[in-house]
Structure 1
């Protein structure tokens, strides 16, 4: 028998929305933003979202939160956004997204190392099943792969998994929106300062470019990270890892439906497998019957003083 709670499904659905929004980042960045200014492109994605959210929450870190916000902002936003931008410009959107297929295992690994979370065999099975589905999606691709882009994609996978585990470790009761805001501000400032010295003036964008930046800032960053960190706050890390596979599916589907990339029957099958793994990851076995506890109670009853005295009288 399987237990499914409405609250668990709510947080799973919210996390799934964030993952889908992340999947659109590669195509939007590759299509509308300049390839030669990755620092500015990353800064324009992070800093405006952080400043707007800061006006909403009106709260700054205090005590240990300062150091943690700087570390998390660097890992989750600053360095991460830069690698996303590089991967998006050097790789086709479907390939860049698909390299995140190992995220369930990477997240489970860092959750084990940092948090001491033991991943249930069922979740590992769903993770492997989801990765298999992703391999079906991208297995027929014949596009040339840039090795530097692959290195950037692998690096952002490591940063995402490490940052997610640290975020859960340092959760001190502040809301997911609060931590998202602080990290965006820290990462955005870092990128902004480095961009000024390394790339000079910000890029000149047309109307479509400004719309793309607005979408990346407020939907694929502010909203998506709020969903992502909310998932880590309320769900096991391994479960969120499986949900992150929707990032890959979204990236491929956007490339197919909007970018006119080919989509084969095998890729359709792979998409179906990934969706099944995501749904399966939200199911957890019912608690086993407490046989040992029951046996202990029976043994305790049989060895009670009253019963022992009665047996002595019968003898």
Structure 2
């Protein structure tokens, strides 16, 4: 396992890593406004396989030893299963509901990190995790809800898949090149999704310029760049802190709905927005230490 020494300020590394969930927050808007309907497996395959092949041509490096099965497993968890479940939830649920399901990831990661990494969860981060879930719920659960059971199950399983991938990525470390690891995972995930797309959804339809632009956005800024920075951040930052950055996705998704689609935000939603941001920031800091001072005795000691 290769360990990388942190050569930049922690706040800057956190900010760079936060790019990933922020750009992932655009997925719901792009899916509903740009992509052809009811093609979740096609969306996942187009987002992952071409990007993985392009990166592999760039780095010119194949897995060695245990990294054949490690990269395949991580590719299924972080890319293949997660992309498929993400787009199923995006197509079948209101974006707010799907985003809220993803907000439970910090709590799942805390439990899994305790079991796999022996990192005992603190009450400080568990408290911020519950605050984050509450904040995102206030932010995105607004109005009449359509709770499709398939979409709900897909959203929950996607959260579990991504959270498990985060913990195992930290557990196994990474090879010398983060870009190579990213390429291997994209290819593994894409090879899982492509036959499923052809089998379940049939031959892809003809794509117009709008759909091509949507796929290009999800593949390059939303996948290649985002996952490279995300995997780099997982290897350098505390895993529980990284998981809280995922709360930025529903925050960005809701703000885009307000700004682009004209979806008004209520006072409760602004409260949820503030609470979610507070959870993200608060979880990046260690728990404050309380110092108790004893009163001096009569002798003044």
When the two structures are superposed, what TM-score results if normalisation uses the length of structure 2? Answer: 0.88
Structure 2 counterpart of 1:94: 96
Q: Work out the CA distance in 1 between the residues paired with 2:162 and 2:73.
A: 13
The 5 A counterparts of 1:56-95 are 56-95=58-97
Q: Work out the CA distance in 2 between the residues paired with 1:103 and 1:78.
A: 18
Deviates more, 1:84-93 or 1:258-267: 258-267
Given that residues 74 and 165 in structure 2 are in contact (C-alpha distance below 8 angstroms), is that contact kept between their aligned partners in structure 1?
yes
In the TM superposition, what whole-angstrom CA distance separates every residue of 1:47-103 from its partner, at most 9, and x where no partner exists?
A: 111112112222110111001111111111111111111111111222221221111
Q: Work out the CA distance in 1 between the residues paired with 2:118 and 2:130.
A: 21
User: Whose Rg is larger?
Assistant: 1
Q: Work out the CA distance in 2 between the residues paired with 1:77 and 1:64.
A: 19
In the TM superposition, what whole-angstrom CA distance separates every residue of 1:211-268 from its partner, at most 9, and x where no partner exists?
A: 0000000111111112221221111111112111111111111222222223111111
Do the aligned partners of residues 240 and 37 (structure 1) sit closer, same or farther apart at CA in structure 2, a change above 3 Å counting?
Answer: same
Given that residues 99 and 140 in structure 2 are in contact (C-alpha distance below 8 angstroms), is that contact kept between their aligned partners in structure 1?
no
The 5 A counterparts of 1:1-315 are 7-284=9-286
Given that residues 175 and 181 in structure 2 are in contact (C-alpha distance below 8 angstroms), is that contact kept between their aligned partners in structure 1?
no
In terms of fraction of residues, the more helix-rich structure is: 1
Q: Which runs of 5+ in 1 are unaligned?
A: 290-315
When the two structures are superposed, what TM-score results if normalisation uses the length of structure 1? Answer: 0.84
Displacement of 1:270: 1.0
SS in structure 1 of the partner of residue 203 of structure 2:
coil
Given that residues 93 and 151 in structure 2 are in contact (C-alpha distance below 8 angstroms), is that contact kept between their aligned partners in structure 1?
yes
SS in structure 2 of the partner of residue 143 of structure 1:
coil
Q: Work out the CA distance in 1 between the residues paired with 2:39 and 2:274.
A: 37
Q: Work out the CA distance in 2 between the residues paired with 1:124 and 1:148.
A: 28
Do the aligned partners of residues 263 and 171 (structure 1) sit closer, same or farther apart at CA in structure 2, a change above 3 Å counting?
Answer: same
Question: What is the CA RMSD across the aligned residues, in angstroms?
Answer: 2.1
Do the aligned partners of residues 259 and 66 (structure 1) sit closer, same or farther apart at CA in structure 2, a change above 3 Å counting?
Answer: same
Do the aligned partners of residues 38 and 118 (structure 1) sit closer, same or farther apart at CA in structure 2, a change above 3 Å counting?
Answer: same
Displacement of 1:173: 4.0
